[in-house]
Structure 1
Amino acid sequence: MAQLASQLNIPGWINKIGRYQQFFVPVAFVGLLAVIVVPMWPVMMDILIATNIALAALILLTTIYVASPLEFSVFPSLLLATTLFRLVLNIASTRLILAADATSPEEATAVAGKVIESFSSFVAGGSLIVGLILFVILIIVQFVVITKGATRISEVAARFTLDAMPGKQMAIDADLNAGLIDEKSARRRREDIAQEADFYGAMDGAAKFVRGDAIAGIIITIINILGGFAIGVFEKQWGFGTSLEVFTKLTIGDGLVSQLPSFVISIAAGLIVTRSSGRYDLGTELTRQLTGRWMAMAITSGFLAMMAFTGLPAAPMLTLSALLGVGAWMVRGNEIKAQQQVVKQEQSQAEKATKEVPVEQVLAVDLLELEVGYGLVRLVDTGQGGTLLDRITGIRRQLAGDMGLVMPPVRIRDNMQLAPTDYHIKIRGNSVAQGSAHPNLFMAMDSGLASQPLEGGIKTREPAFGLDAVWIEPGQKDRAEALNYTVVDATSVVATHLTEVVKNHAFELLNREETNNLITQLREKAPKLCAEVLGEGEKVGLIKSGELQKVLQNLLRERVPIRDLETVIETLGDWAPRTKDMDVLTEYVRNSLRRTICNQYVQYVPDDQAGLNGENSNVTVPKLYCVSLDPTLEDQINSFVDRSAEGTSVSIPPAVATRIVTAIMQELQHLIQAGHPPVVLASPPVRAAVRSLLEPHLATAAVLGYNEVSKGVSVQSVGMVQLETTSQTQQRQGVGS
């Protein structure tokens, strides 16, 4: 056979035909119109009917073997096409049956082709009543059970898919911002969500075609029987019984031929809308899940064995009971082997952990450390499916790109003194943050868009940003996303918390060694600049590496990226000969990095001036929302700033400092409630002093100088901070009382 195919060059012809596959569907639809208009030969009708049956079988098997409904996203359109194909065949076969030029009942039975004739005799068992009963049963099962169920499932799936879209989009954005995925993966996930919504939305409408096809089949069958009976009696002058038998038999055969593929495709529609995305196809998933519980198989085996002694045939019952019993025994054996393997791995890990640790290693202090309770070890252990180590690798890459800082290696160890679900983040051996995570649950966070509270679960707070959250079971995940909650797993909670801790304490992680590494990398890019400012060999530079480290730490303390190290060193080269005050030099560097600093807090809003002539406009402009300081307050703060050759210091009485911080915090609350980042705008001489006052109370607040607002950015002050005088305070308290 293979040699004959090679001689006929069949693969070559198939490849040539495949080049024009974009024309297949248009030609097929034009052909459907031709079938309606042009009378078909019985042989051609047999070919079309066989094609219909083969296509239905192919669609059913495809739905079984896809791992996700999106792998068969063309199904809704294909459902419409197959429905149209069957209706066209119904019309063509009706024409052959009713318009045939048959002189006798024997000739009339063959006018519609061999397939319809075979279905009317062989499938129906040669009995008109049997064929009619089979046809009615097929219609009832398809119309009442399968079609109705598939239609309802499509409606519910479409509704819940659309409701869950905002939550899924927020989860993707959260993973992207945390560095867990890259932009390409985020774009692919967004496309999958959009395709999923389109698919279930289309299935919601396409399911109506299946229901309509069943109704049309009933109506066409009744019309064919009545029409055939009238033609046989009045035109062909056959007897009542003969006419009814011939045309009813042909109509039932035609109905079975068309409804059998319709029944198969209805099953396929029900299967695809009930599928959930997984790693395996339907057959594999069913086998794994049905045979995955040995206890269920054992109980079923015992039940069948008992049924064998109730008068039912013992042979089939005992045979099935034996097969299920052997299957249960095999599944149980595999589970025991898997448990023994886990125990061996745990013992091996325990032996490694109990080995004597060198004293030198005990004395060493890790720069960054993560301690976890024993219940969170599985998040780290790759053998148990843990992905935290991979997440930390993504965090290092993200921080290097965003902040310009290479995060030091994270030492992860288990601490038996911690609660099973607790973890501590340490810097140089000191705990700076802690939290808890449940590895078997999901955290659902309310970012302000949740439509209603979740019932049950463990109420908590998201450790990185302090959002209200609930630990929920995996079965509640879809519902939480449908309610616009952001749902993440325990690994994401720990990874996000670690990312924010590193950003908040980045200035502590930048040591002298890392500073020298950054200088070494810059020397390859700008050797002359580094030689002039930092020195090279015996040549002394304008600043030392320790002084550069101090400036970089000042920048990182306020979350200013240091990626543009070349601009930092150029600015220091300009101003280092004039002052050695690191705080003053930091302010000069901030002025050079003003575009980078300002862009962190700028929001793009619609331009109020665009579209004034009545046309629609999508123009946006950058705007900085902030609170500003009263000039009198700035003068008061400036009076407490002491500038000398040794450096700059701020000496504000505690009572005054408390009043200033309280006033600023009150104005910032209005800014935060409006959905804007907390930004304070101050004059350059007092910017650093205001920042030092706010840092212990609101570390995420940004204090920008007027000179740090980049060109083209409009400033919108939503409030001005003022200190009340004693008389104003007394007057306000009097009014309040």
Structure 2
Amino acid sequence: MSRATVNRKVWLGAGRGAVLPFATLLLVMLMIVPMPAMMLDIGFVTNIMISLAVLMVALNVARPLDFSSFPTVLLFATLFRLALNVASTRVVLVDGHEGSHAAGYVIEAFGNFLIGGDYAVGLFVFMILMIINLVVITKGAGRVSEVSARFTLDAMPGKQMAIDADLNAGLLTPEEAKLRRQEVATEADFYGSMDGASKFVKGDAIAGVLILVVNIVGGLILGMLSHGLSMSEAASTYIVLAIGDALVAQVPALLLSIAAASIVTRVSSPLDLSGQITHQFGSAKAWVPVAAILLILGLLPGMPHFIILVAAAGAAAIAWKLHKAAQAKANAPVEAPPAPAPTTIGWDEVSDDAALGLELGFALVGLVDERKGAPLMARITGIRRQLSRELGFVIPMVRVRDDLALAPNTYRITVAGVVVAEDEIWPDELLALDSGDLLDRIDGRQVKDPTFGLDAVWIPPAQRAEAVVAGYTVVDPATVIATHLNQVIQSAAADLFGMDEAQKLIDALKETAPQLAANLTPQPLPLVSLAALCRALLIEGVPLKDFRRIAEAMADAAREETDPVQLVEAVRQRIGALIVQTIVPVKLPLPVVTLDASLEGLLAQAVRTGRDAVHPIEPGLGQKIVQAIGGVAGPLLQQGRRFAVVTSPIARRALARLLAPHVPDAPVLSFLEIPDGKAVEVVAVVGGEANNNHPMLESEVA
């Protein structure tokens, strides 16, 4: 960039900065230094031009903050008009005896053309303008400004908290949060300034009345005493000039009052005021009653039939045109997006942000077809609602789509883009599940139930009654997929929970326990640590539905523990009652499987030795423990009995991680997690002589 260009920009910036001080000095000069009539004409025309420009800008902004300089502009426009009033008063009183042209052509035009030279008519016109400006527009705009300023200031803390919450949740960057805070502060300053600026308009209207009285009284006195005019001559000269001066000032004042009222009564919208009004009046249903009522009025005796009937025809034409436009828009073909070029690759082709996905082969698309009732979609919604209540957070939407790469009868369930389940169903048949107590067997396509692994057979719908009589449990294809999806969501609950869900739990907690929420995060637990702690609980089947009690346990444990592993164990010990009630009802004893004392000691020693290991239990011993507990769990689960494996606090986490892949329905508790008053029923003791050779452990069933 050349030196000349830089110097030119510096001079332009300095020139723009000097405009406002120069304009302020000019206002003072207008009030003090006598001005010729020609300068007054230029000033009055400029005043009208500024008022019109301000009104047009106010009508075309989409929201009030788009014209945030309006209070200051209103102040200077009002001062400019008052300065012109002072200068014109001096000219009227000094040179008014020379005739109506003595104060300039603009005042003469307003005094003669607008009121026909009749000062009585001029007085009444001025009074009407003052009533409209002062009583109607200014008073209403002032009241709206006061209420808006009050509500804006009251809502400011809540908006700031919402911005902080979005920032903590990662929904906003620090720069975006800074801009949002600045916008909130600007909004409060704007409405506070508008509350004061409305007083400028009111004071200007009162000043106009006082200046008119001064011009009339002073003109009559000076005309009769100083210039020897008669009463009628002085009145016809000075009153016409005074009214012309008042009108030429009040017309711009009225325009600015309308601009102020339109600004403070605006509602934020992507459209300007004219577009907003046009859009909201663009309904044929609103114009049909208008045309009908006008038609009835036009047919009444004594009414001006021609004018009213023409208006009715105009309203009917508007209604008809709007109706045709709405029909054309509804029937217009939807333009398909242009097909991407063969060489173009979009981000949607390489990324999938759906937390849960269900992909269907083309033969299964009928299960989600709305024309056939979409039975699968209704079941998925019910599953999400039920699991959301049970787990304590909102299960995300399931993205269902067809996939031509799949076999026709195949479906696939994905979690965070990972395929976790896949199976085949036949949409035109029913699945008959072997309940284990069959009276007879029926022929069909032999399969395994995708959810529970039970023996099952696909049969035609006509064999439903025969299968039920034979002892089978018969379900439809939509139920098969829905049940499988339900199992997947329950097992993958931790993968569906992230920082966004944690923030929503905190936001809900703020409504009922604000102090608890404030003392939980960001200190002592940052949001990322809180989300990790919740996921650790979900992995072990602990729901978050009583989050207030869980949050109290987290806040209490976080003051004593900093290690993430020990923090989870400390929280579990504090919410033991919640964990136990998910296993057995409150009035029934808790069935437990315990470990022999020697086995407990061996596990504790292994954990202490391999404290930092993911699986500290020696593989051979671990396999024997799994086999022994699996042998106990099988008969109990077949009987439908829930139970828990109870061990020492130091070994609980290691044993839980060992059993999770093999016996997922057997929760592992520590002694400290069982409430003191809870009755316990020992259903089995796993163990025996455990030496260095790790002989096969035996189970002693109670």
The 1:233–1:660 alpha-carbon spacing in structure 2 relative to 1, beyond 3 Å, is farther
Letter in 1 for 2:416: P
1:121 matched to 2:121: no
Once the two structures are superposed, the pairs formed by residues 468-547 of structure 1 within 5 Å of their partners are 504-505=534-535
1:584 to 609, 612, 621: 612
Once the two structures are TM-superposed, the CA of residue 173 in structure 1 deviates from its matched residue by 2.5
DSSP-derived class of the 1:312 partner: coil
Match status 1:429 vs 2:489: yes
Q: Is the 8 A contact 1:63 1:272 kept in 2?
A: yes
Query: Percent of pairs identical after alignment?
Result: 36
Task: Indicate the residue corresponding to 2:289 in structure 1.
Answer: 299
Q: 1:243 to 1:430 in 2, by over 3 A?
A: same
CA contact (8 A) 1:64 1:271 kept: yes
Matched residue, 2:94 = 99
Contact 1:225 1:247 in 2 (8 A): yes
Q: 1:278 aligns with which of 269, 290, 307?
A: 269
Cα 1:31–1:169 change in 2 (3 A) is same
Residue aligning to 1:62: 57
Equivalent residue runs for 1:111-150 within 5 Å = 111-150=102-141
Query: d(CA) in 2 for partners of 1:661 and 1:341?
Result: 71
Question: 1:640 deviation in Å?
Answer: 5.9
Q: Using a 3 Å threshold, how does the CA distance of structure 1 residues 21 and 428 change in structure 2: closer, same or farther?
A: same
Quick check: 1:239 aligned with 2:230?
yes
- 1:581 Cα offset (Å): 6.5
Whether the 8 Å CA contact 2:138–2:202 is kept in 1: the answer is yes
State the partner residue of 2:173: 182
Match of 2:69 in 1: 74
CA distance in 2, matches of 1:53, 1:248: 22
Q: 1:343 to 1:52 in 2, by over 3 A?
A: closer
Shift of 1:189: 1.6
Q: In 2, distance between residues paired with 1:283 and 1:46?
A: 33
What is the distance in 1 between the residues matched to 2:323 and 2:533?
A: 50
The reply on whether 1:259 has 2:259 as its aligned counterpart is no
Q: Which amino acid aligns with 2:489?
A: G
Q: Distance in 2 between matches of 1:112 and 1:133?
A: 22
1:250 to 1:408, Cα distance in 2 relative to 1, 3 A: same
Where structure 1 has 5 or more consecutive residues not aligned to the other structure, the ranges are: 1-12, 346-351, 362-369, 377-387, 390-406, 419-423, 435-446, 448-461, 471-485, 487-496, 510-551, 560-577, 589-636, 663-737
1:195 positional shift: 0.5
2:78 to 57, 67, 83: 83
Equivalent runs, 1:694-713 vs 2, <5 Å: none
Deviation at 1:308, TM superposition (A): 1.8
Are the structure 2 counterparts of residues 125 and 312 from structure 1 closer, same or farther at C-alpha, using a change threshold of 3 Å? farther
Contact 1:555-1:586 within 8 A present in 2 as well = no
How many Å separate the matches in 2 of 1:31 and 1:555?
A: 76
Q: 2:31·2:83 contact (CA, 8 Å) conserved in 1? A: yes
Q: Which amino acid aligns with 1:178?
A: A
Q: Distance in 1 between matches of 2:653 and 2:45?
A: 97
On the 8 A contact 1:217/1:255 being kept in 2, the answer is yes
Partner amino acid, structure 1, of 2:197 = A
Q: Deviations over 1:647-686 (max 9, x none)?
A: 9999999775445899xxxxxxxxxxxxxxxxxxxxxxxx
Aligned pairs, how many? Answer: 435
Residue deviations 1:590-645, cap 9 Å, x none?
A: xxxxxxxxxxxxxxxxxxxxxxxxxxxxxxxxxxxxxxxxxxxxxxx998636999
Greater Rg by CA: 2
- Is the 1:426–1:433 Cα contact (8 Å) retained in structure 2? no
Say if 1:506 and 1:556, in contact at 8 Å, map to a contact too: no
Give the drift of 1:417: 9.7
Give the conservation status (yes or no) of the 8 Å contact 2:615–2:658: no
Instruction: Output the CA distance in 1 between the equivalents of 2:653 and 2:530.
Output: 36
Per-residue CA deviation, residues 461-499 of structure 1 (Å, 9 max, x unaligned), is: x766654869xxxxxxxxxxxxxxx9xxxxxxxxxx999
Counterpart position of 2:214: 223
Amino acid at match of 2:291: S
What are the superposed Cα offsets for residues 108-157 of structure 1, whole Å, 9 maximum, x if unpaired? 31111100011000011222111111111001111110111111110000
Given the superposition, is the C-alpha separation of residues 468 and 639 from structure 1 closer, same or farther in structure 2, using an over 3 Å criterion? closer
Q: Contact (CA 8 Å) 1:554, 1:586: kept in 2 or not?
A: no
Q: Give the Cα separation in 2 of the matches to 1:410 and 1:282.
A: 50
Deviation at 1:245, TM superposition (A): 1.6
Check the 8 A contact 2:648/2:671 in 1, yes or no. no
Q: 2:363 aligns with which of 347, 351, 356?
A: 356
CA, structure 1 residues 82+648, in 2 after alignment: closer, same or farther (shift >3 Å)?
closer
Change (3 A) 1:18 1:645: closer
What residue in structure 1 maps to residue 641 of structure 2?
Answer: none
Match of 1:381 in 2: none
With over 3 angstroms needed to count, the CA separation of the structure-2 counterparts of 1:84 and 1:343, relative to structure 1, is closer
| Structure 1 residue aligned with 2:190 | 199
Q: Which residue of 2 aligns with 1:408?
A: 416
User: Contact conserved, 1:508 with 1:553, CA < 8 A, in 2?
Assistant: no
Alignment-derived partner of residue 641 in structure 1:
650
Pairs within 5 Å for 1:718-733:
none
In 1, Cα distance between equivalents of 2:382 and 2:320: 37
CA-CA distance at 1:35 after TM superposition: 1.1
Question: How far off is 1:505 after superposition?
Answer: 2.9
Unaligned runs of 5+ in 2: 1-7, 337-358, 369-378, 386-395, 398-414, 420-476, 495-502, 518-526, 540-562, 571-605, 617-645, 660-666, 679-702
Find 2:30's aligned residue among 32, 35, 42. 35
The answer to whether structure 1 residue 309 and structure 2 residue 319 are counterparts is no
CA distance 1:97–1:18, change in 2 (3 Å): farther
Equivalent position of 2:557 in the other structure = none
The verdict on how the C-alpha distance between 1:204 and 1:642 changes in structure 2, with shifts beyond 3 A counting, is closer
TM superposition shift of 1:168: 1.6
| Secondary structure in structure 2 of the residue aligned to 1:308 | helix
Alpha-carbon distance change, 645 to 304 in structure 1, aligned in 2, over 3 angstroms: closer
**Alpha-carbon separation, structure 2, partners of 1:288 and 1:39:** 51
Residue 300 of structure 1 aligns with an amino acid whose one-letter code is V
**1:433, distance to aligned residue in structure 2 (A):** 7.1
- Separation in 2 of the partners of 1:43 and 1:62? 29
TM-score after normalising by structure 1: 0.51
Please tell me the residue identity of whatever aligns with 1:307.
L
Q: What SS does the aligned partner of 1:124 have?
A: coil
Q: Is the 8 A contact 2:383 2:486 kept in 1?
A: no
Instruction: Give the AA of the match of 1:299.
Output: P
Instruction: Look up the equivalent residue of 2:306 and give its one-letter code.
Output: A
What is the aligned partner in structure 2 of residue 164 from structure 1? 155
- CA pair 645-279 structure 1, distance change in 2 beyond 3 A: closer
User: Which secondary structure state, in structure 1, belongs to the residue aligned with residue 101 of structure 2?
Assistant: coil
* 1-structure distance, mates of 2:269, 2:384: 27
RMSD (Å) for aligned C-alpha atoms:
5.1
- Name which of structure 1's ranges 153-162 and 177-186 shifts more when overlaid on structure 2: 177-186
Residue 363 of structure 2 aligns to a residue whose secondary structure is: coil
Q: 2:655 touches 2:668 (CA, 8 Å); kept in 1?
A: no
